[in-house]
Amino acid sequence: MKEKDKTLRAGDRIEVYRNLHKDCFSVRKNGIVVKYINNDESLHLTDVKFVVQPAGHAKVIKEKRKNVHAFVRGIYTGDRMRESTMVARYNPYLCDSFITYSPFKGPSPIYKAQSASLFRGKVYVTV
The partner residues of 13 in beta bridges, in order of sequence, read 75
pLDDT tens digit sequence for 4-45:
677 899 999 999 999 999 999 999 999 999 999 999 999 999
Spell out the residues 6+ positions from residue 89 whose beta carbon is closer than 8 angstroms to its own: 98, 99, 100, 101, 122, 123
pLDDT in tens, 50-73: 999 999 999 999 999 999 999 999
3 has a pLDDT exceeding 70: no
